[in-house]
Amino acid sequence: MADLADNEKESPMKRVSLHFSSVDNMEGEFKEFDTEAEAGVWARKMIGDHPEMGQWYATDGVAKIVSNTEGLRTADLFPGSE
C-alpha cells in the first residue's frame, strides 16, 4: 500500500478553544478542551444553560464565551438556546 501524501495524512485531533471574559473585556482567559462535549459542559457551568446568544458569542449579561475553534459556533455549545 502506498504512503499517503503529506497533505493527505490525518491531522492531529483538533482541540476546542474557548475565550471566557467579562462583557467589558476587562478580564478573560482562554481554555482548551479535548472535545466539544467537554467544552459545552464547562461553558454551561460558567454562564448557564440558556444564555443570550449574539452572532458570535453567548452571554449571561456579566460574562461572555466565544468559540475560537474553526467550524464550531458558540451556539453549538448551548443546545436549544437559539
| Count: domains in the chain | 1
pLDDT tens digits, one per residue of 45-56: 999 999 999 888
Cα separation, 69 vs 15, whole angstroms: 8
Q: In the chain, what percentage of residues exceed pLDDT 90?
A: 70
Contact 69, 60 (CB under 8 A): no
List residues bridging with 78 in a β-sheet.
none
Q: Give the pLDDT score at 26.
A: 86
Does residue 67 fall inside a structural domain?
A: yes
Cα separation, 50 vs 42, whole angstroms: 13
Does residue 5 fall inside a structural domain?
A: no
Range(s) of the domain holding residue 41: 15-75
Does residue 3 fall inside a structural domain?
A: no
Does residue 10 fall inside a structural domain?
A: no
Show Cβ contacts of residue 71 under 8 Å, excluding neighbours closer than 6 positions.
Answer: none
The DSSP H or E segment spanning 58 is strand 58-59
